[in-house]
Amino acid sequence: MWWLENNTGFLGTRASFVSDVTLVLMLLSMAVFTWGWLLARRGDLAWHGMVQSASVVINTITICFSMLLPFVHRFTEPRYPLPIWFYIVLIAHGVAGVVGMVFGVWLMLSANGIIFPPPDYERYRPLMRSAYGIYLLATLLGVAVYVASYMLLPQPPH
């Protein structure tokens, strides 16, 4: 893992390889979630369920291993004092991300009848739309954190 964290990324910024892979995975995940939403709009609920469930699992794994675990040593002890706006964006991203992830996992488990009986789709529609909106917000804030960390700040914070 040392090689991945300390090797330059492939997007042409000062980010590490892992940070670039994480950004690409999250943007792909956003595209797949949007595809799942379009499947639901077309009425193809079976494929919608499969696509969204797979996306939630992949997204949760990505978040846990490339965001939550490294956060402790990356941003809690930065190399130099960071501007307050950076912390505001970082905290907003973290809050939206955790809420979106927990909400999305709960919805996926509920919709598949794992923690509750399978739900009535009409009752779950507003919840799914809310989870999708929170996920989009968290992703956009994540892109802002990436841009700030590796393109705007004089040097990466970690």
Q: Where are the domains of the chain?
A: 14-152
Distance CA 21, CA 16 (A): 9
Least confident of 11-20, 54-63, 69-78, 88-97: 69-78
Q: If you average pLDDT over residues 64-69, what whole number do you get?
A: 80
Question: pLDDT of 18-58, one tens digit each?
Answer: 899 999 999 999 999 999 999 999 999 999 999 999 999 99
Residue 99 · residue 134 · CB < 8 Å: yes
70-107 burial by CB neighbour count: b if 16+ within 10 A, else e?
beeebbeeeeeeeeeebeebbeebbebbeebbebbbeb
Q: pTM of the full predicted structure?
A: 0.86
Structure tokens at 6: 């300390």
Q: Comparing C-alpha atoms, which of 143, 69, 125, 129 is closest to residue 100?
A: 129
